Structure 1
Amino acid sequence: MTDCQLYLISPLDVSGDFPQRLERALDAGTGIATAFQFRVKGIDQHEAAKLAEPLQAICAARDVAFIVNDDVALAKRLNADGVHLGQGDGEPKDAREELGHDIQVGVTCHASKHLAMEAGEAGADYVAFGAFFDSTTKASEHRPDLEILEWWSTLFEIPCVAIGGITPENCKPLIDAGADFLAVSGSVWNGDEVAAIKAFAEQIGTA
């Protein structure tokens, strides 16, 4: 049994029945789906906070980390469990100063060992590599090799997240290479979320 876990990333539209879908997904992935990233774009903070509230409560009730994408101020307002920073979203140490020491800070490192080591030195709690496959959620010209996961997990204690176009069909090599988390979005929300989570759980269980 591997200790790889799922890190769910929200679709851009989290209105309507999305809270119910999140509940179903997390309940199907108990013990495996342990983090959820709130990722919305182009709306003001007040609106974002309103959308986040029910989702944060669902995560809290299931002991799932609620992480805000890109926005330190929103993470602070929500008292979120963490914030995820892209390369243009500021420094981990600044986020830590702003949000306190209990917050999880993750950093996108694309396909770069150098960026990952810098993030680790700056106090990141996890680093994210990707995109490993073509993704409909977010375009990326970066294509890391599996070797980067092996290298990181052999040398460093900080967890690494694999991201980008990951499906139940293609995730096994990432798990075998040492990914601590698989960040998944479209492969869960573009269809039946319960079936998708169960399919991922099966792959993780056999890895």
Structure 2
Amino acid sequence: MKTISEAMKEFNDNEKNPLRNVKKKKVVEEKGMNIAYDCEFNTNNDLELISIGLVREDGKTYYAVSNEFDESKLDDWLKENVIALLPPKEEWKSRETIKKEIVEFCGDSPTFWAYYSSHDHTVLFNLVGGMMKGPKGWPMRTNDLKQMQFHLGIAELPEQKEGHHDALEDAKWNMEVFNFLSKEADKVGVVSDFKAVEKRQKGK
């Protein structure tokens, strides 16, 4: 099976490629970088943001805790597993401040990655203005690392040894997983058959 890079090279080099002789236009905006992130939130209160951590592929990180979440609606699990890990309240920030800092941190046209990303994506875009009114150049999706793992047929991911439910530590692990899966993608190649995926996962 050809790797992604091999398949793309063959496509680009093929003389029958209809795009081969098309005059290329200059790209106005450079593609942004990959960013892995994680949100901690309250599912008992409309996915209200508690904390967020982001890691860019260049290694730079961002972390913030909202000072606007309703503490009266926290359940015992959140208190024990999330709130207990937060920094002092003096360091918490308003949602508007977090929004401005994240937009600056992410830059133009970022590519987002998260693990089981559906809720994280909703929380992030609720913070920055919504799906339709988000920052210019931002994608309307977050790529799901769990789905990427499934489609590549990878049985096990690198272990996260500590920092579970600390948004920044989870985001760091997400970036580790992204890098791991990206390397595995070149070994596995493109898979379009779900049966092939299942066989790989079962080691057949």
TM-score normalised according to structure 2 size: 0.31
Q: 1 or 2, which has the higher strand percentage? A: 1
TM-score normalised according to structure 1 size: 0.30
Higher relative contact order (CA 8 A, sep 6+): 2
Which one has a bigger Cα radius of gyration? 2
